[in-house]
Amino acid sequence: MVIIPDPFRCRSPLGHNNKIKRLILTYCTTGEKLSGLHSRSKLLFGASRKARIISVSALLLAMCAFGAAGFAPLPPDVSDIKSTLLSRELPLPDLASQVAALTQQQKQEQPFVREEKIRPGDTLAVLLMRLGVNDNAAADFIKADPVARGFLKLRPGKRVQAVTAADGTLQSLSNTTANGQDAKLLLVQRSGASFTSSESAAALEKRVEMRSGEIHSSLFAATDLAQVPDSVAMQMVDMYATDIDFASDLRRGDRFHVVYETYWQNGAFVRAGRILASEFVNAGKTYQAVWFEEPGSKLGGGYYGFDGRSMKKAFLKSPLEFTRISSGFSMRMHPILGQWKQHKGVDFAAPTGTPIRASGDGAIEFLGQQNGYGNVIVIKHWANYSTAYAHMSRFASGMRKGTKVSQGEVIGYVGATGWATGPHLHYEFRVNNQPRDPLSVDVPNAQPLAGADLQRFRSVTADMMHRFVLLRADSGIKLAAR
């Protein structure tokens, strides 16, 4: 610590000798200089000791930086770099020869692809001519080969694609045909001077389509207008068969939205697939269904409502797909006996040969002829339920007593055997062998989804609900969820 003397005290008269006075004056002058420097340092670096230390450190760092910049090397001058100029002649390609070679290659190897629809009355010669095929050997092979003869059996509307050379010789001929859920590729291909034929599973492109429609006269008229394939319309019938009788329950103004799969090859429609989700408004009531994959299911999955409840009920509302009720469950004048008598079932009028479906899972308890019922089948179901199907023209193949049947399986065909005045199905629904009205009896659904399956199901329904919102907006209506 430096002790700064008080200059006022130093100037006070003292009784000392001259040497001592000079020492005192020197000391006081030095003190005044130090005191002035101390005061100026406080003004410059701050009053506190900490502030002064920080300020001095910053000053030293700045001086070091300026010093480093002063000693940094300068970049080299560009004018001092030596450069050498090189020149070399490159041969230009012969474009004329390249163009000539490419033109010749195209004439020899470039194939021509054509596609035509088979028209009514087409022969093989007419079809090949429209396809630009001028190859007698190919025509002879198609007529003689057992696989290639499949081209001669194609129905009008089917597409055939041909690949030919510039002179019309056939390189390949192909067609994709859908057979149920399968699609096959029929192919005839040139192999040197001969031909080969093959039939294999076709690689198809799957798409998802969305359609909407309104009922004016019938379901199929509405689906045709909305460009919905008939196979998709039939799936809707099966899907809502336990809730809607499409022969008698439809009303003008009923609406539907449907999301379904389609399969294509080379941009051409091959077949429709499964319905992924649908919504049907019948008489103001909304029915919804969505397909849900179930790995453990025998069918691979099933249809459920958007709340997770199964769409499948224990019994169908009608054992016939399309029909009309000619006589209900009530008292009536018997058409043969001419007496008032209780009609213990429901009569569905339909042409002879119309398929009859089992209304629920069960086993055949009786099969044969039974008085006025004619040819009749009685199916025993669970919990003392049973159903009877009478006046059949014949039974389906494989049906016998004890045979297990599934809901919707064809068990026979409509006829007029027994006491019948015309072709129709007499259908009875029994509980403990007592007849009940099948159109009004209430039966439970299958078990709803739960747990992990319900969580997976909700992710599927979220996507389908978004699609329905788009369909409703496009059709200009808003529907309340069931």
330 by Cβ neighbours in 10 Å (0-12 / 13-18 / 19+) ranks as: exposed
Give residues with Cβ within 8 angstroms of 409, minimum separation 6. Answer: 357, 358
Indicate the pTM of the whole model.
0.50
Q: What pLDDT shows up at residue 260?
A: 95
Tokens 């490419």 belong to residue: 102
Distances (CA, A) of 326 to 243, 424, 427: 20, 8, 12
Q: What pLDDT shows up at residue 329?
A: 46
Per-residue pLDDT 10s for the chain (482 aa) are 444 444 444 444 444 455 555 544 454 454 454 445 455 555 455 556 666 677 667 666 766 655 555 555 566 665 667 778 888 888 888 888 888 887 777 666 678 899 999 999 899 999 999 999 999 999 999 999 999 998 888 888 888 999 998 889 999 999 888 766 677 889 999 988 899 999 988 888 899 999 999 999 889 999 999 999 999 999 998 888 778 888 788 999 999 999 999 988 777 788 899 999 999 999 899 999 999 887 655 557 788 888 888 777 778 878 887 665 655 444 444 454 454 455 678 888 889 999 999 988 889 999 999 888 899 999 998 778 899 999 999 999 999 999 999 888 999 999 989 888 889 999 998 888 888 887 777 766 665 677 777 888 888 888 888 888 888 776 654 333 33
CB-based contacts of 227-234 (< 8 A; 24+ apart in sequence): 228/258, 228/260, 229/262, 229/271, 229/272, 231/271, 231/272, 232/258, 232/260, 232/272, 232/275, 234/321
40 by Cβ neighbours in 10 Å (0-12 / 13-18 / 19+) ranks as: exposed
We find that the CATH architecture of domain 110-201 is Roll (3.10)
**Cβ atoms within 10 Å of 42's Cβ, excluding its own:** 13
Residue 10 tokens, joined: 């130093």
Superfamily for 324-436? Glucose Permease (Domain IIA) (2.70.70.10)
**Helices vs. strands in the chain: H and E counts, helices first:** 9, 22
Half-sphere exposure of 472 (CA within 13 A, CB side): 15
* 110-201 and 210-313+448-482 have identical folds: yes
Strands 362-369 and 404-405: antiparallel
Q: Rounded to an integer, what distance in angstroms lies between the CA atom of residue 151 and that of residue 106?
A: 30
Dihedral of alpha carbons 312, 314, 320, 323, sign:
negative
Q: Rounded to an integer, what distance in angstroms lies between the CA atom of residue 123 and that of residue 139?
A: 11
For the chain, the structural domain boundaries read 1-42, 110-201, 210-313+448-482, 324-436
Half-sphere exposure of 365 (CA within 13 A, CB side): 14
Q: Rounded to an integer, what distance in angstroms lies between the CA atom of residue 208 and that of residue 437?
A: 41
Q: How far is CA 232 from the centre of its chain?
A: 15
pLDDT per residue over 313-332, tens digit each?
A: 778 878 887 665 655 444 44
Q: What pLDDT shows up at residue 252?
A: 92
Q: Rounded to an integer, what distance in angstroms lies between the CA atom of residue 133 and that of residue 121?
A: 19
pLDDT per residue over 98-151, tens digit each?
A: 888 877 776 666 788 999 999 998 999 999 999 999 999 999 999 999 999 988
Tokens 């291909």 belong to residue: 189
Phi and psi angles of residue 324, each rounded to the nearest 5 degrees, phi first = -135, 150
Domain 210-313+448-482, CATH among 3.40.50.720, 3.10.450.350, 2.60.120.260, 3.40.50.10490: 3.10.450.350
